[in-house]
Amino acid sequence: MELQQDTPLELPLFLLNDNIENRDLEQPDLRLSVMLTDNLLANLCQNPTPEESISIPVVDYELNDFSADVVELFNGEHQLQLLLNNGPVLSAILNVQDQLFVSPPVEMMPTFDLGLDEDEQ
């Protein structure tokens, strides 16, 4: 997965329970969208060692496409963290009323704009 500044990071989220291993990746419980700001992208450009992970709290995000099974959980507060592991591998963890929603881990590579225009020759 490539990450670019000022673009949305979109991840599927699944309720963490005993059935998560059998879930269809095309049928998430909801979808997460986070705008990749300068600050967030700077945090995501780290590559932790194999023994560590980095937790990045996120305040500004959107949740969409709720399944009917979980929509009633979202009347209260919720907290989102992005988890960065060695690779770098990114996943999201959403805490809602003591229920956890997780995204599948994705390998990523930040993309940097060096100010070069492809049309210039």
Domain residue ranges in the chain? 7-17+27-108
pLDDT of residue 41: 87
Residue 66 CA to residue 121 CA, distance in Å, equals 47
- Kindly state the average pLDDT of the residues 65-79: 88
pLDDT at 51 over 90: yes
pLDDT of residue 121: 47
Dihedral-angle region of residue 118 (phi above 0 means left; psi in -120 to 50 means alpha; beta otherwise): alpha
Residue 30 CA to residue 68 CA, distance in Å, equals 10
pLDDT at 22 over 70: yes
Dihedral-angle region of residue 116 (phi above 0 means left; psi in -120 to 50 means alpha; beta otherwise): beta
43, containing H or E segment: helix 38-44
pLDDT of residue 85: 92
